[in-house]
Amino acid sequence: MRIGSVRLHVEWGHLAFVLFMAAFCVWFWLDARAASTNVQNLLVIQPAAIFALLLCAAIAIRLVKIERMDPVEGSPGKHASAASVLRALWRAGELRGILVAALLGAYVFGVPLAGFDLATFLFLAAGMFVLGERRPLFLGGFSALFALALSYGFKVMLSVPVPMLLF
């Protein structure tokens, strides 16, 4: 980001994460205070939240770097296309990470609907595909065997009811 003769280097992703943590600390502190302002309730939460917020501030300040530059200097900047950004993200493994995280979310929330056996089969097959496995027989066979073995094993071992489609 450039303002006049000053250029700001900001680690936006990291800064957003620090702000998220700071927001959680403020929200939790206020929520605890709303529950009760008794010392016994806030004995740990209040000092820990304040300390965490100070740390957030100290870290956030270091994420913004100011650089002075010659007014005539400066590059027009590269305008990357959406496709090239996606390609770069895929190469860096970021997109695969996002896809696997999304699949994990679908898996966790799909378990009550589809049962552990089917949801596990689908998650394994889709997860392996996203990570580069392309052999259809292996995708189907390994996912089915692993999902069935895991589902059956846990169902036998656990005393609590486990949502299943087949067992």
User: What are the contacts of 152-161 at 24+ separation with CB within 8 A?
Assistant: 154/116
Per-residue contact track with another protein, 13 to 42, x per CB under 8 A? xx--x---x--xx-xx--xx--xx-xxxx-
Nearer to another protein, 24 or 69 (CB): 24
Structural contact between residues 67 and 5, judged by C-beta atoms closer than 8 angstroms: no
Residue 60 in the binding site for another protein (CB under 8 A): no
Exposure class string for 60-80: b at 16+ Cβ within 10 A, else e: beebeeeeeeeeeeeeeeeee
Q: In sequence order, what are the residues at sequence separation of 6 or more whose Cβ sits closer than 8 angstroms to the Cβ of residue 124?
A: 142, 143, 146, 147
User: Taking Cα atoms as reference points, which of 23, 51, 55, 29 lies closest to residue 42?
Assistant: 29
Does position 116 bind another protein by CB under 8 A? yes
Q: How far is the CB of 81 from another protein (least distance, A)?
A: 23
What residues line the site for another protein (CB under 8 A)? 13-14, 17, 21, 24-25, 27-28, 31-32, 35-36, 38-41, 43-45, 48-49, 51-52, 55-56, 58-59, 62, 92-93, 96-97, 100-101, 104-105, 107-109, 111-112, 116, 120, 123-124, 127-128, 131-133, 142, 146-147, 150-151, 154, 157-158, 160, 162
